[in-house]
Amino acid sequence: MSQELLLISGNAHPELSQAIAEKSFVRLVDAEIGQFADGETKVKINDNVREKDVFVIQPTGPPVDHNIMELLIISDALRRSSANRITAVTPYFGYARQDRKDDSRVPISAKLAVDLFETAGIGRICAVDLHAGQIQGFTNMPIDHLYARKTIVDSMRDVLDHPVIVGPDLGAGNKARAVARKLKTEWAIVDKDRQDDKVTHVEAIVGHSVHKRNVLMVDDIISTGGSILSAAEALKKRGALLVYAAITHGVLCGDAVEQVEASPYLDKLYVTDSLPGPVTSKIGRITISTLLANAIKNIHAGESVSELFD
């Protein structure tokens, strides 16, 4: 591809953007991204982006509405500055939970978000561990769906001795199986009854026994922490030794960090740096900046992305 590759960072996670720029040896575009006095997002691109291949790095985590709007306005500024192609690099893709009509009179927010991306001039999306893979079918726009499991496996390989890999709910079963295969170990799933979006009750642990075994739970999102912590409690009560969790997206809203720190059942939580967040005595970080840097270079060059996580 003849066009120059450029990166631009929103304000959602500048540390990740800088790490990606350093690992891809690509400079970040000089831009002024702030707010007017009334809180509206203000953007000015100071570099020439005409006919360039521009990647906007902006995870759309909390505050979700502000970060999405900032991404849209940056993209509109790039489109009006004649950028050749605009790719939204959203390591965490917000509004992915409402991906279908599962009740009367509810929206499909994920579809709306993708529509807004297209309207703003975004021509491609690069995301990591989408909460709902069917989001890729909401648009004719190409979506490069990256998987963090190889990065997580490589980081966790020597942390626990031959652990049982556990999905904290049925939805995480495929991820648990994939990680277990890479680590050549056993796996299980926590079967829970979800009462509402905050309360769950563990019914059973299906699969390999966790008695007198270390456990590594894997999932895509930890938000309030309730699901992971209730699963950790059930695992410890069934004889598990150390219980660790490795989660792609550490949303960690409300008092989730305090709940994790206080839990007598979860021994350690690892989250990737797809979103900004704290590092504490019980919360560690796994960087996906190398994965994203390599994906950006491959997308720009028209090369395979799947080879990065096979």
Closest CA to 54 of 229, 310, 307, 296: 296
Q: Specify the DSSP class assigned to residue 133.
A: G
Binning the chain into helix, strand and coil, the percentages to the nearest 5 are 35, 25, 40
Distance set, CA 67 to CA 13, 40, 61, 93, 188 (Å): 10, 12, 7, 11, 36
The H helix count followed by the E strand count for the chain is 8, 14
Q: Which of 299, 259, 249, 255 is nearest to 282 (CA)?
A: 259
Count of alpha carbons within 13 Å of 65, Cβ hemisphere only?
Answer: 2
Residues in the chain: 310
What is the phi/psi pair of residue 82, to 5°?
70, 30
Residues 260 and 217: beta-carbon distance below 8 Å? no
Catalytic residue among 175, 192, 236, 297: 192
192 belongs to the catalytic site: yes
Distance of CA 57 to the CA centre of its chain: 13
CB 197 within 8 A of CB 223: no
Taking alpha carbons only, the member of 25, 27, 26, 32 closest to residue 11 is 32
Catalytic residue positions?
A: 192
